[in-house]
Amino acid sequence: MFSRRQSHSRGRRYLYEIALKTVGNGSLATTIFKLNRGRLQPDGSRLQDPNVIEPGWILVLPATASGPGVRLLLLAAGLMAVGGWRRNARATRSLHSRHARVPLADVTVGGSSLLGIEIGNEPGSYYDGTSDYFSDFEANAAAIEAAAPGVSLVGPDPNHSSPSFIAAFASNEAAHPDVAEVTQHSYPTSTCGDSVATAGFFAPAFSGAAFCQFSHQNFTVDNGGLTVSYPAGSTAPSAGSPFGGAQACVPSSAGPGDTLALTYSVRFPSGFQFVKGGKLPGIYGGVEPFSGGEHNPNGWSMRLVWGAGGTGGIYAYTAKTTGFGDEYGQGNFSWQADGQWHTVTERVTVNTPGASDGSVTLSYDGRQVIRQTGVDITETNTPAAGLFFSTFNGGHDSSWAPTSDESISFKNFSASQQQQPVTTMSFFGVTATPDTVTR
Q: Can you give the residue ranges of every domain in the chain?
A: 2-172, 195-416
Q: Does domain 195-416 have CATH number 2.60.120.200?
A: yes
Q: How far apart are CA 155 and CA 258, in angstroms?
A: 42
Q: Do the beta carbons of residue 391 and residue 280 sit within 8 Å?
A: yes
In the three-class reduction of DSSP (H, G, I as helix; E, B as strand; rest coil), residue 167 is classed as: helix
Separation between Cα atoms, residue 59 and residue 32, nearest integer Å: 8
Specify the pLDDT at position 19: 82
- The mean pLDDT value of the chain amounts to 75
Are 421 and 433 in contact, with CB atoms under 8 Å apart?
A: no
Integer angstrom CA distances of residue 55 from 13, 47, 112, 183: 8, 12, 20, 19
Residue 63's pLDDT is 66
In 3D, which of 224, 244, 221 has the Cα closest to residue 232? 244
- Provide the pLDDT for residue 75: 47
**Predicted pLDDT at 249:** 93
At 330 the pLDDT is 96
* pLDDT, position 57: 80
pLDDT of 245-275, one tens digit each? 999 999 999 999 999 999 999 999 999 999 9
Question: In a structure prediction context, what are the per-residue pLDDT tens digits for the chain, which is 439 residues long?
Answer: 444 333 333 344 577 788 888 888 777 787 788 777 777 777 777 887 777 788 778 787 776 777 777 765 544 433 332 222 222 222 223 323 333 333 333 334 344 455 566 676 666 655 666 677 777 777 777 777 776 666 666 666 655 445 566 667 666 666 655 544 455 544 433 334 444 345 678 989 998 888 888 888 888 888 889 999 999 999 998 888 888 999 999 999 999 999 999 999 999 999 999 999 999 999 999 998 899 888 889 999 999 999 999 999 999 999 999 989 999 999 999 999 999 999 999 999 999 989 999 999 999 999 999 999 999 999 999 999 999 999 999 888 889 999 999 999 999 999 999 876 554 434 344 444 444 333 3
Residue 89 is given by DSSP the state H
pLDDT in the model for residue 253: 92
Judge whether 194 and 186 are in contact, CB under 8 Å. Answer: yes
Q: Which residues are bridge partners to 301 per DSSP?
A: 284, 317
Neighbour-count burial of 63, counting CB atoms closer than 10 A to its CB (0-12 exposed, 13-18 middle, 19+ buried)? exposed
3-class SS at 263? strand
Q: What is the pLDDT of residue 37?
A: 78
CA distances 297 to 50, 148, 249, 378, Å, are 41, 52, 18, 7
The 8-class DSSP code of residue 157 comes to: B
DSSP element (H, E) containing 410: strand 406-416
